[in-house]
Amino acid sequence: MQLQTVPAAKVNFAALAMCRGLGTQATSHIAAVSSLQRKAAGETLFNEGDEADCIYEITSGMLRLYKLLPDGRRQIMGFLTAGHLLGLAPEGTYVYTAETLTDVALCRYRRSGFERLIDNVPGLARRLWAFTADELRMAQDQLMMIGRKTAMEKIASFLLMQAELQGTPDEIRVPMTRSDIGDYLGLTIETVSRTLTKLKRDGVIAVPRLDRIELCDHDQLEELASGDADADF
């Protein structure tokens, strides 16, 4: 369900991540192939394997990206917030499924119109490259985390990463379920829950509501995340 489509003219395109640093002319070219979209929580933006005909920029809200194995096992590749692009495959099909975790506002760029711009707008291809490179860097950090960290280190890293991503060092919003967190970190829902409980007991975090976590002891979290914490934690 597409809640709303705003005429392109009403959007401040120069403020979008896609256009930042590009000239006004480039910005208007980009505006010409884009439209604003709203999605409710729990909707699918596109599926892994779909024809990649659009690039999206998130204006507000949060999405989850994931891949599935044939038997249903899921790996979440990331949680995206405002300012991030997605659907950035230079060719072919989407490599993951994108679903909204909250209500989301998006700017959509049609690939058909976008293609020409990439080669003609100076700096645009480079900008797309930079976005993809950043996504790669995050994927590789996640690899390190999933492959070599313990459950406690993963959870601590996750909490700090969300705080960083959301720009709120002391409290994070958690619109994703425990199951989402588990599928992001390579853990089960029970292990996520148990680990959070342990952090609560130790006073490192507080959970006033299911979708809020207060980071009470930032330093302790940092230690837990990097794995050089005292043995009694």
Partner DNA sequence: CGACCGTTTGAGATCCTTCAATACCAGTGG
Partner DNA sequence: CCACTGGTATTGAAGGATCTCAAACGGTCG
Site for DNA, rule CB under 7 A: 150-152, 177-179, 186-194, 196-197, 207, 209-210
Q: Which does 148 bind (CB under 5 to 8 A by kind): a second copy, DNA, none?
A: a second copy
Query: Of the two residues 115 and 190, which places its CB atom closer to DNA in the complex?
Result: 190
Instruction: List binders of a second copy among 179-198 (CB under 8 A).
Output: 183, 185-186
3-state helix/strand/coil string of 129-145: HHHHHHHHHHHHHHHHH
Q: Does 140 bind a second copy (CB under 8 A)?
A: yes
Using CA atoms, how far residue 164 sits from 55, 160, 194, 200, in Å, is 25, 6, 23, 20
Residue 213's region, left for phi above 0, alpha for psi from -120 to 50, else beta, is beta
Q: Which does 179 bind (CB under 5 to 8 A by kind): a second copy, DNA, none?
A: DNA
Question: Could you tell me which stretch among 10-18, 19-27, 142-150, 195-203 binds a second copy (CB under 8 A)?
Answer: 142-150
Give the strand order in the sheet containing 74-80.
44-46, 97-100, 63-68, 74-80
Question: Could you tell me which stretch among 20-28, 73-81, 171-179, 194-202 binds a second copy (CB under 8 A)?
Answer: 73-81
Query: Of the two residues 117 and 189, which places its CB atom closer to DNA in the complex?
Result: 189
Q: Between β-strands 63-68 and 74-80, what pairing exists: parallel, antiparallel or unpaired? A: antiparallel
Q: Quick one: angle between helices 124-148 and 178-185, nearest 10?
A: 90
- Other C-beta atoms lying within 10 Å of the C-beta of residue 141: 12
Size of the chain in residues: 233
- In the complex, minimum distance from the CB of residue 176 to DNA, in angstroms, rounded to a whole number: 8
The first and second tokens of residue 74, run together, are 């899921």
- In the complex, minimum distance from the CB of residue 182 to DNA, in angstroms, rounded to a whole number: 7
Query: Of the two residues 112 and 168, which places its CB atom closer to a second copy in the complex?
Result: 112
Residues that bind a second copy (CB under 8 A): 67, 69-71, 73-75, 77, 88-91, 95-96, 118-119, 122-123, 125-126, 128-130, 132-133, 135-137, 139-140, 142-144, 146-149, 183, 185-186, 226-228
